[in-house]
Amino acid sequence: MANHILLLVLLAFTCSIAYSFEPSPLQDFCIADTTSSARVNGLVCKDPKMAQANDFFFTGLHLIGNTSNSLGSKVTPANVVQIPGLNTLGISLARIDYAPWGINPPHTHPRASEILTVLEGTLFVGFVTSNPENRLISKVLNKGDVFVFPVGLVHFQRNIGHGNAVALATLSSQNPGVITIANAVFGSNLPIPSEVLAKAFQVDKYIIDRLQAQF
């Protein structure tokens, strides 16, 4: 009997851990009320009796993204900003278009893991493990291939084909957030002192000044 009780306690503890990161919804849905000024961890729900199909709908992922920029890529998101009905559901996605040799630069999603599916083209993708190992785990993906980027880790994609490429990214948060490494380090507002970055990167200060001038 004592063993059974211990087993139940351990099971309850395990289940509490499993659900502590993303609590189960307490209602059918919570459509984001973007007009509310209330401050909560997420977005306030509007009256469910006012729910409409368009609260759960978005169109545009069939459109080719404009990749005529310095990176040669375009991300078209479909998260809680575009689909209010995603509020509290813990999922979102994005279309990513890549010009030949275009990149989705090193970045992180602080609130989500990502699973990337290649729809067209060939991508070189990878992520870097945390300190102290900082190991690059990378792979070449072709049409139909899938790759996972764990939450919070720096990752990237590069189109290594001769034509355009398209991928669909699915994320485990309604609002995954994006921290692009170059923008955060060299384009912060206010700027990180160049002396700090010069020492961190072990380069001359004038190199940091040139990099910061680009952001």
Please say whether the dihedral angle defined by the alpha carbons of residues 177, 183, 187 and 191, taken in this order, is positive or negative: positive
Residue 120 known to bind ligand: no
Helix, coil or strand: residue 186: helix
- Tokens (6 digits) for 98: 């890549």
Q: Flag whether 114 is marked binding.
A: yes
Question: In a 10 Å sphere around its CB, with 0-12 CB exposed, 13-18 middle and 19+ buried, how is residue 24 labelled?
Answer: exposed
CA neighbor of 174 nearest in space, from 74, 28, 56? 56
Give bridge partners of residue 147 from the DSSP assignment: 116
Interaxial angle between packed helices 194-201 and 205-212, expressed in degrees from 0 to 180 and rounded to the nearest 10 = 120
Please tell me whether 104 is known to bind a ligand.
yes
Do the annotations mark residue 109 as ligand-binding?
yes
Which residues, 6 or more positions from 76, have their beta carbon under 8 angstroms from its beta carbon? 60, 61, 63, 65, 94, 95, 96, 97
Binding-site residues for Mn(2+) sit at: 107, 109, 114, 155
Binding-site residues for oxalate sit at: 104, 109, 114
Binding-site residues sit at: 104, 107, 109, 114, 155
